Structure 1
Amino acid sequence: MCLLIVLLLALSSPALAAVEVVDGDTIRVDGQRVRLWGYDAPERLQSCRINGVERAIGEEATEGLKAILAGGELRCTTKDHDRYGRTVAECWAGQQSIGDAMVRSGWAWALPRYSKELFLPAQEEAERAGRGIWAGHANCEAPARFRQDHRR
């Protein structure tokens, strides 16, 4: 079934495959969850204090992914499967790497453990420019820590 998802992503226009954004690093394609490879975005319910103001960074990252996906036809290549059985895929919207765009926009952390150093230049640029989670005097908890502290 996961191979079918990737084929749908690679061969179908967005009009043919139903794509839904779950959060900043997960999409649903025709009902199947796909974890986007190489970066970690804030959880949908996660917030962060930036310049003394509590902001819904999980929602902001989700909206950021939606905007990137609007940039062109979705194409994905399966990289792996995670411990939850989801397909882990590297994806592009048109010619733009979704992982690079999310990290560069400041709505995600690079995960060099998986993507090596591919997205680190984008993260350094976002930090220098003060975008998203790097804005002002941000005190943003990494998503992995947030998930650990808020297990269902």
Structure 2
Amino acid sequence: MRLLFAFMLLVASPALAAVQEIDGDTIRIDGARVRIWGIDAPERRQTCRIDGVERPIGKEAIEQLHSILAEGELRCRKRDTDRYGRTVAECWAGSQSIADAMVRSGWAWALPRYSQDAYLPAQQEAEQAGRGVSSGRRTCEAPARFRRDHPR
């Protein structure tokens, strides 16, 4: 079980909490949704054709987030609240930025509008190396377009 050290995010003092991956850029901490700041990852039910094969990229992004979270104690710092009322936070697993690791792995896109280009070098590296949604010949739609075209 992964443990969380939250500071000034959801509780006034450090606490141990249950963590669950919702999708590649959202986690649930003791029932509260937290959106990872500065990135956009495939939606849970999103697929993509890569090298002629339809792949469950939403589930693959969740698996990547799960492995990143396993790297160390989770810390989050609140940056904002989104239009849905979710906390938007910068989070780290051990010393590793979760957003940077997700983008660098190719399982999330940088959102420079929000992150002031912080994750663009990681995105360029993932694209050049052909990682995640940048692998092979692909027809992956951006998560924002997927959400627009496939409302729940």
Contact 1:40-1:111 within 8 A present in 2 as well: yes
Matches within 5 A, 1:1-152: 5=10, 7=12, 11-12=14-15, 16-152=16-152
How far residue 6 of structure 1 moved from its aligned partner, in angstroms, is 5.8
Contact 1:26-1:33 within 8 A present in 2 as well: yes
How far residue 4 of structure 1 moved from its aligned partner, in angstroms, is 5.3
Report sequence identity in percent: 70
How far residue 120 of structure 1 moved from its aligned partner, in angstroms, is 0.2
How far residue 139 of structure 1 moved from its aligned partner, in angstroms, is 1.1
Would you say how many aligned residue pairs link Structure 1 and Structure 2? 145
Stretches (4+) displaced over 6 A: none
Counterpart Cα distance in 1 of 2:75 and 2:66:
15
Contact 1:37-1:99 within 8 A present in 2 as well: yes
Deviations 1:100-140 (A, max 9, x none): 00000000000000001110000000000000000011111
Q: CA RMSD in A?
A: 1.2
How far residue 7 of structure 1 moved from its aligned partner, in angstroms, is 4.9
How far residue 54 of structure 1 moved from its aligned partner, in angstroms, is 0.4
Contact 1:46-1:57 within 8 A present in 2 as well: yes
Equivalent position SS for 1:5: coil
Deviations 1:55-113 (A, max 9, x none): 00000000000000000000011000000000000000000000000000000000000
Contact 1:91-1:97 within 8 A present in 2 as well: yes
Point out where structure 2 has 5 or more consecutive residues left out of the alignment. 1-7
- Structure with greater helix percent: 1
TM-score norm. by structure 2 comes to: 0.92
Point out where structure 1 has 5 or more consecutive residues left out of the alignment. none
Equivalent position SS for 1:44: coil
